[in-house]
Chain A
Amino acid sequence: MKKIFCWVLMMLNVGTNVHAFDPDQIQIHGFVSQGYLISDNNDYMLTKTEDGSFQFNEMGINFATQLTDEIRVGLQFLSRDLGEIGNNEVELDWALADYHFRDWLGLQVGKMKAKYGFHNQSRDIDAARTWILLPMGIYNETLRDLTASMTGVGIYGSLPGGLTYQFQAGSLEVDKDSGVARMLEGFGAEVVSMESESDNFTVGLEWETPLDGLRIGVTRTALRLSYEAVFPGMSAPMENDVEGDKTVASLEYMYENFTLDSEYRLLDNNLGGSDNTAESYFAGIRYRFSDWFEAGTYYCVFYCNKDDRDGKGFEAMGLPRELGWCKDIALSVRFDINNNWVFKLEGHHMDGLNGVVRYDPADPDTRWLLFAAKMTFSF
């Protein structure tokens, strides 16, 4: 790891003259975030939450500089763990060159955080939000690899009337160890290989409305990947192409110390072997009581198939019909100990089994509780 950092610093032509928070030089920022998850029943998000788990963390460090007035370069390394995924392997989270030609046209090349809703790009940044877990119905942590970043090109800019746009095209970071592969394995498949196609894209439009503090947005994302897997009852691997098209409508309203958030998403996909549309939405409110204390709540609903909200399809397969949805009521408190340290506590009341990886098939607990605690240091 040290070698990589030294190489990066050499490439960026810095010796000992490195200052964080100095825009004329290399800026170095980082974060370490360690959490704990425990549920009263069921294991959630590929993590042994019923036993309680510390396998829930993110650590990142980035280097960035303004090379010229118009060109900015930077990269970030990220290590994360969430139960069976991540396992604290260090990965390149983003690495890009940004050319800000005009306010209405900027160009990015490299590996970029993918635009998707209002919260995807900062999903690993615990210090930047009130909640510990983003609404899982829209920001599913186990399928993070499908939305976290895109390697390719992007354009962005501001248009008259408070409009901004962002377009990105490229490939995704998926392989047979990704969360989506783990999810297929949960259904009995043995994934042999998985790779991204190169024709993925995302386009987002945001409007800062004339009403102070209100912004709305829409994102459309097309995801394409292929995998080979041996399914139960088969002797040879079968090749599958997965197509997913996601549309998210987002709203945020900030009024004094209140912030209201809401998003609605439709996901057309063939991941389960046939065409299907998943539906999810959430609404939340946060209130900053003081410089050091904030509290918030949200309600998030996810349906695996919007044409089968009762989960009858799962029932027909001999599975609990509650696998077809998850309804999550979350309550969070956040303590800003100082500018660098943040501590959060969060409780979730869950209705449904979607996202649960281990439950008692004879008598599944379909209403259950999840608690999370997290401490983050960032600079």
Chain B
Amino acid sequence: MKKGIMYLTILVFGSVVWGTAYADVLLIAHKSVPEKVLSEKEVRQIFMRKKMKWADNSVIKPAVLEDTEIHDAFLEQHVGRSRSKWRAYWKKMVFTGRGLPPKTFESQKELVRYVAETPGAVGYINSRTSHKNVTVISVK
């Protein structure tokens, strides 16, 4: 019985630790991007395309992942919206002529490559994903 409780405890806490680790979102940008630190509000505005220029007036090119756990974690932590609210927001924007959604990638590897190769690009990945040739953005 005691062993059973121990295994159950390990399983539950292990899941929590695993879940937390997986949801550890890292913001990355092209090396030329002038800002290395962004506020929570700026991150939200960038991905909702309300802020479209960096400090040097170059164009911000946000990149997002398709519906995945890391995408949900990013939306929850940095945009303050659920996946359904995010979708509803972009339907409003595209069907009223007010904006085009961020470029969407199937995999984190593709997103990292795009951010590394595209001046002005910004995106997010799981912190355990390899992210060479990009700048890590701190969120204050």
Q: Which residues of A contact B (CB under 8 A)?
A: 21-24, 27, 29, 31, 60, 62, 64, 66, 69-70, 72, 74-76, 94, 96, 98, 100, 102-103, 112-113, 121-122, 124-125, 127-129, 158, 162, 164, 208, 212-213, 254, 257, 288, 291, 294, 336, 339, 378
**A288-B84, A291-B83, A336-B84 known; A23+B100 contact, CB < 8 A:** yes
Please determine whether B104 and A21 come into contact, CB atoms closer than 8 angstroms: yes
Please determine whether A29 and B52 come into contact, CB atoms closer than 8 angstroms: no
Contact with A along B74-109 (1 / 0, CB 8 A): 000000111111011101101111111111100000
Contact for B91 among A64, A69, A213, A378, CB less than 8 A: A378
Contact for A64 among B51, B94, B102, CB less than 8 A: B94
Please determine whether B50 and A31 come into contact, CB atoms closer than 8 angstroms: no
Please determine whether A27 and B94 come into contact, CB atoms closer than 8 angstroms: yes
Contact for B95 among A22, A100, A122, A254, CB less than 8 A: A122
Number of B residues whose C-beta is below 8 Å from A?
A: 31
Please determine whether A164 and B50 come into contact, CB atoms closer than 8 angstroms: yes
Q: Return 11 A-B CB contacts under 8 Å, by A number.
A: A21-B101, A21-B104, A24-B103, A29-B94, A76-B95, A94-B97, A103-B52, A103-B53, A122-B91, A125-B95, A254-B80
Please determine whether B80 and A128 come into contact, CB atoms closer than 8 angstroms: no
**A69-B59, A254-B80, A288-B84 known; A100+B52 contact, CB < 8 A:** yes
Expressed in whole angstroms, the Cα–Cα distance for A66 and B67 within the complex equals 24
Q: Which residues of B contact A (CB under 8 A)?
A: 41, 45, 50-53, 57, 59, 67, 80-85, 87-89, 91-92, 94-104
Please determine whether A294 and B84 come into contact, CB atoms closer than 8 angstroms: yes
Q: A98-B97, A113-B98, A291-B84 are in contact. List 15 more A-B contacts (CB 8 A).
A: A23-B102, A72-B99, A96-B97, A100-B52, A102-B53, A102-B57, A103-B52, A121-B92, A121-B98, A122-B96, A127-B91, A129-B88, A212-B80, A288-B84, A288-B85
Residues of chain B within 8 A (CB-CB) of A339 are: 67, 87
Please determine whether A128 and B88 come into contact, CB atoms closer than 8 angstroms: yes
Expressed in whole angstroms, the Cα–Cα distance for A76 and B91 within the complex equals 13
Which residue, of B53, B84, B85, has the highest number of chain A Cβ atoms within 10 A? B84
B73 vs chain A, min Cβ distance (A): 15
Expressed in whole angstroms, the Cα–Cα distance for A188 and B92 within the complex equals 38
Chain A contact residues: helix, strand, loop or mixed: strand
A-B contact count (CB 8 A): 89
Residues of chain B within 8 A (CB-CB) of A122 are: 91-92, 95-96
Expressed in whole angstroms, the Cα–Cα distance for A212 and B41 within the complex equals 9
Expressed in whole angstroms, the Cα–Cα distance for A24 and B63 within the complex equals 12
Please determine whether A112 and B97 come into contact, CB atoms closer than 8 angstroms: yes
Expressed in whole angstroms, the Cα–Cα distance for A121 and B94 within the complex equals 11
Residues of chain B within 8 A (CB-CB) of A124 are: 95
Expressed in whole angstroms, the Cα–Cα distance for A336 and B91 within the complex equals 14
**A100-B52, A122-B92, A212-B80 known; A64+B87 contact, CB < 8 A:** no
Expressed in whole angstroms, the Cα–Cα distance for A129 and B91 within the complex equals 10
Please determine whether A74 and B97 come into contact, CB atoms closer than 8 angstroms: yes
Expressed in whole angstroms, the Cα–Cα distance for A75 and B96 within the complex equals 9
Residues of chain B within 8 A (CB-CB) of A75 are: 97
